[in-house]
Structure 1
């Protein structure tokens, strides 16, 4: 029992510092007093607080002293603990504050980059065997994430070798960004990609960042397309001006030749009448050319007004055929007209509708080899009225169908084959749209002919008026054949040149196509060939090359007579083997000198 009491006494002593630290100095002091009382109770006499023996008193005093010391030590430990707790709390508070600041900064960073609307990425290089093998996507803003077909969370951490925007090339990214990952720097460049939305262009600004690379990707597709459109418009403008000069020279050439013929003293009445006819036709051709230019200007400004009236479709067809007849006859085409089953009358601007139809006929004649077949048909049903012009000419390739109605474009953009300003179809399309209709084109492909159709709404039909029935018209013209060979598909120009040269005493033969020229050379051996470059089918350049490649005609003098007079055109004629290059209208003195020098040659 005594031993048990002493153990308990010792237990009280051992817990004094802990109690003091946990509950304070008063708790420690109370426990100390309780321990002393407990010890006194267990000292003889047991059960009494009186301590009679001297040794027990010494023990009790020692306990009191040691206990007081332990309480004091516990009190100091409590103070130290409180200070440590305060420091820890302050540290935790500072840590929380820093985390909050970091979260806010990251949030502001994300909001700022996302609100910019411009793709922004951070890429980290992946090094293998001492070199950068690929990059890893470490950050993407919302705009950048939209470039991918996957969620941004999936992209981040992925390799550029496997995950990248559609159409982007891994090698391109690696090649462009590797130098920035290896050394500090900044680079701006443009890239072109072919994605799901077609061809796109991005302006990239990339910079080094602690071994990584940051990059902005600005979508500049609208700007690039606008620049391309401006460049294309500028190119078309230059082509148009060159073509305009060419087309104006064409009618000027026979006019100038006719003027020279009219000055000859031995001019017959028949020849004079013919000269007047040529002047009228060619001046009319120039008038039509200028009218087209004016009409385009009026339509662009919205100043062109239609003068609609009730008109018989047959009248429109007859007027269009009359306008196109010279070129149809000059190229020996067969024109077949298929009128509607019943008389057809519409409310339209007769002049403008005939102008469009004539333009389609002349285009068909221009792009159909000599002796071709052209069909003009008119049909009507409850939905619409259709006027179609079909030919068996050179046709239109499928990828060019969508562009033929653009301003300053041509069905076959080859300046040495076909003439025209490239505004006819664009003008025709606008005129038909002013009538509430549409102009369409179709073709089976190259050398399979084409069909252009005017579609007018059925509402444009009006009550019919009596009109005489006329049979379908067929136009046939055979090219006449006359030591000088003149080759030109402009009949008036060729005949005028032939007449002038014949009056100079030369033996002249005349043909109107390159194929005819090659065929005639088998039986006719000229010293000089006057060759137009803009021939249908086989161009003048092709004919010249064939002539130079044939031993029997290798030494013939070749004179280019053309409306194309730019430096690049002269370079082409030189390469093809021409000896002279004259632009229309030809200076007669220069031409005579060139012909005389050739005739004098052995």
Structure 2
């Protein structure tokens, strides 16, 4: 007890010292009252070791001297420092000798107490350092495992009747914890039979990890999981650790999917090579037969012409196959460049229809064309766009039974330009829609085989993407038709640059008569243009300001508006915007007549909604063709 008190701070030692001294003094006073002071001073010696240990040798010696003086004063004669009785002297001598021994003993106890205190402090400090080291090690362990980003866990076995019957989660890093559903609650301490990552098989975990809990070893295996995000694959590496099992597992879904994609691509490549051989043999067979026919004597001119026709047709078919292959190769290497120009969508459609016309006629299909409400010019590679649209038409014809209906429609708004090809043919099953744009894929390789290398849609998709657009497909299902749509950004729309024209007659008898509105503040110019148009048979109204143009539109519905830009008050651009915002007139053909012809001027007219931009003086032939396009353009 004294050693323990000696380790206390000074304040606590003072309190214990004062309390113990007070107790001794009270006991002394009680005994003094009972025994009339005889020998009671010896009780002071009981406090000597305590005081020496608590406050040092000087304090013990001071208490010893104080006790001696106290004893002398209480011995006869009381109150005198002279001790006359021999027995009293012996008692005082014994008190002094014993007191000195007790002070020396207290001094030794103080040394022992200090050493014990230092030893205990060192032990406590070592324990704290060890505990802090353990905390730091655990923290570094957690940081290392969490920063790795790879799921890691530790499971401990539950053994019943000598066998591992279940596993319990003992540790999870953050990456592993994220695989558990929040509804799982507390994971650590739970059984893998009841709490596990979403989609994982508890029996598989027990089957593969229990042997590692029973004996030393390691294992690696793949786990297929059907989770919230579809099919996933994990590679697990597990090992024994002092009766427990530690395991890392990584998401290998991208690798498995890549391997599956490579396998599918390899399969499609084999199918493509077989298809290529088949497609090349088809034209080679008649070419070879025609060569043998040409060797026959007595060949008539009619038969020779037929042979030449067959050779041309079959060689053209082979050329198309090779062109598709070369285009795919160029796109893959990034070597294909577009030759963009301002082109009328009508012309692209006409070329595409010509490409597909033989198969349309051969299968007696009905082709319905629904053009946009007004002429449309876009900046595109005319040849490539016609190639894509022709491919869509050809596919629609191939996969539509004879006598089917195919519809080609064009629409345009502020967001995009859409050209779609819809048919009532065999359709596409929903689960195959995402694969039809893949290289070497066939819409339906098992039924309705109509030839082709399976690269047409992939090539078309790439060509449209080079234009900044996208190619989409939709189908209601098998035998319910399909629809392929070309989506081009609205920025592709342009106002065409006028080109030099051939000499044309002032009046074209074949021109369809239209309702025309002429707007120009130059009265002579407006009247002269009106007279010219009336000579050609058009119905013409003439106004001389933008405000008049807006007013007349409330009771007159023109099909073509010839609009000067530099009008006083409301400009021609403002009038054009008003026309486009009015539902009744938003689809009329608008032709800008102006003296401004710089590129930025054409951009302004295109933004305002004009379909054509002509600089003064206007070429009559160009103007006639622009008015004609109001009827025939797509």
TM-score (normalizing by structure 1): 0.69
Residues 249-260 of structure 1: matches in 2 within 5 Å? 249-260=281-292
Where does residue 420 of structure 2 map in the other structure?
A: 388
- Report the equivalent of 1:585: none
> Post-superposition shift, 1:316?
4.0
1 CA distance for matches of 2:86 and 2:487?
137
Which deviations, in whole Å up to 9, do the C-alpha atoms of 1:344-396 show, x marking residues without a partner?
A: 46355443333223222221222123343333445566665544332221101
SS of alignment partner, residue 264 of structure 2 = helix
1:426 aligns with 2:458: yes
* Aligned mate of 2:238, from 201, 206, 229: 206
User: Corresponding residue for 1:588?
Assistant: none
Q: How does 1:316-327 map to 2 (within 5 A)?
A: 316-327=348-359
- Aligned residues of 2:42 and 2:95 also touching (Cα < 8 A): no
Please report how far the alpha carbon of residue 289 of structure 1 lies from its aligned counterpart in structure 2 after TM superposition.
0.8
1:20-59 → structure 2 map (5 Å cutoff) = 20-59=52-91
Q: Distance in 1 between matches of 2:509 and 2:429?
A: 40
Give the aligned partner of residue 94 of structure 1.
126
Please give the secondary structure, in 2, of the residue aligned with 1:127: strand
Which moved further from structure 2: 79-88 or 298-307? 298-307
User: Which structure has the larger Rg over C-alpha atoms?
Assistant: 2
Give the drift of 1:262: 4.7
Aligned to 1:364: 396
Distance 2:168 2:205 in 1: 11
Q: Deviation at 1:428?
A: 1.8
Structure-1 residue corresponding to 2:221? 189
Q: Which residue of 1 aligns with 2:323?
A: 291
CA gap 1:184/1:273 in 2 versus in 1, 3 angstroms? same
Determine if contact 1:145/1:152 at 8 Å carries over to the other structure: no
- Give CA deviations for 1:267-326 in whole Å, capped at 9, x if unaligned: 666555444333222221111111111122222333334445565555544443443344
Q: 1:442-462 CA distances to partner (integer Å, 9 max, x unpaired)?
A: 211111111223344565465
Q: What is the number of residues matched between the two proteins?
A: 469
Three-state SS of the structure 1 residue aligned to 2:426 is coil
Contact preservation (8 Å) 1:120, 1:215: yes
Deviation, structure 1 residue 195:
3.8
What do the CA deviations read for 1:514-534 (whole angstroms, capped 9, x no partner)? xxxxxxxxxxxxxxxxxxxxx
Tell me what 2:365 maps to. Answer: 334
The CA deviation at 1:263 is 5.0
- The alpha carbon displacement at 1:407 in A equals 1.9
Change (3 A) 1:76 1:432: closer
- Give the C-alpha shift of residue 423 in structure 1: 0.8
Q: Distance in 1 between matches of 2:259 and 2:79?
A: 112
Task: Indicate the residue corresponding to 1:553 in structure 2.
Answer: none
The match for 2:209 among 168, 177, 192 is 177
Correspondence 1:145 to 2:177: yes
After superposition, the Cα gap between the structure-2 partners of 1:95 and 1:377, relative to the gap in structure 1 and judged at 3 Å, is: closer
Deviation at 1:211?
0.8
2:5 is matched with which residue?
Answer: none
Tell me if the contact between 1:2 and 1:42 (Cα under 8 Å) persists in the aligned partners: no
SS of structure 1 residue aligned to 2:336: coil
Distance in 1, Cα, partners of 2:82 & 2:274 = 136
Match of 2:407 in 1: 375
Q: SS of 1:6's equivalent?
A: coil
Q: Provide the C-alpha distance between the structure 2 equivalents of 1:288 and 1:467, rounded to a whole number of angstroms.
A: 40
1:451 match: secondary structure: strand
Give the aligned partner of residue 242 of structure 1: 274
Which residue pairs with 2:377 in the alignment? Answer: 346
- Counterparts of 1:168 and 1:426 in 2: how far apart (Å)? 38
Aligned to 2:52, the other structure's residue is in SS state: helix
Q: Give the superposition deviation at 1:412.
A: 1.4
In structure 2, what is the Cα distance between the partners aligned to 1:153 and 1:55?
86
Distance 1:342 1:95, change over 3 A: closer
What is residue 16 of structure 1 aligned with on the other side? 48
CA distance in 1: counterparts of 2:444 and 2:423, whole angstroms:
15
C-alpha RMSD of matched pairs (Å): 3.5
SS of residue paired to 1:217: strand
Aligned to 1:155, the other structure's residue is in SS state coil
CA distance in 2, matches of 1:32, 1:381: 114
SS of 1:193's equivalent?
strand
- 1:458-516 Cα distance to aligned partner (Å, 9 max, x none): 6546569999799xxxxxxxxxxxxxxxxxxxxxxxxxxxxxxxxxxxxxxxxxxxxxx
CA distance, structure 1, for counterparts of residue 209 and residue 386 of structure 2: 63
Cα distance in 2 between the residues matched to 1:157 and 1:354:
67
Unaligned stretches of 5+ residues in structure 2: 1-32, 502-507, 513-634
Equivalents in 2 of 1:244, 1:442: separation in Å? 27
Distance in 2, matches of 1:380 and 1:41, equals: 127
2:38 matched residue in structure 1: 6
Which residue is 2:556 aligned to? none
CA distance in 1, matches of 2:173, 2:489: 53
Q: For 1:215, what is the secondary structure of its paired residue?
A: strand
8 Å contact 1:193–1:199 — kept in the other structure? yes
CA distance in structure 2 between the aligned counterparts of 1:141 and 1:98, rounded to whole angstroms: 24
Q: Separation in 1 of the partners of 2:267 and 2:284?
A: 26
Whether contact under 8 Å (1:140, 1:152) holds in the other structure is no
Equivalent residues in 2 for 1:113-124, closer than 5 Å: 113-124=145-156
Shift of residue 427 of structure 1?
Answer: 1.5
SS at match of 2:171: strand
1 or 2 for the larger relative contact order (CA 8 Å, sep ≥6)?
1
CA deviation after TM superposition for structure 1 residue 204, in Å = 2.2
Corresponding residue number in structure 2 for 1:448: 480
* Pick aligned residue for 2:165 from 133, 136, 153: 133
What secondary structure sits across from 1:394 in the alignment?
coil
- TM-score, normalised relative to structure 2: 0.65
Q: Which residue of 2 aligns with 1:168?
A: 200
Q: Note the C-alpha offset of 1:265.
A: 6.0
- Alignment correspondent of 2:113: 81
> In structure 2, how many angstroms separate the alpha carbons of the residues matched to 1:183 and 1:123?
14
Q: Note if contact 1:145-1:151 (Cα within 8 Å) is conserved in structure 2.
A: no
Give yes or no for contact 2:184–2:195 (8 Å, CA) kept in 1. no
Which residue is equivalent to 1:582?
none
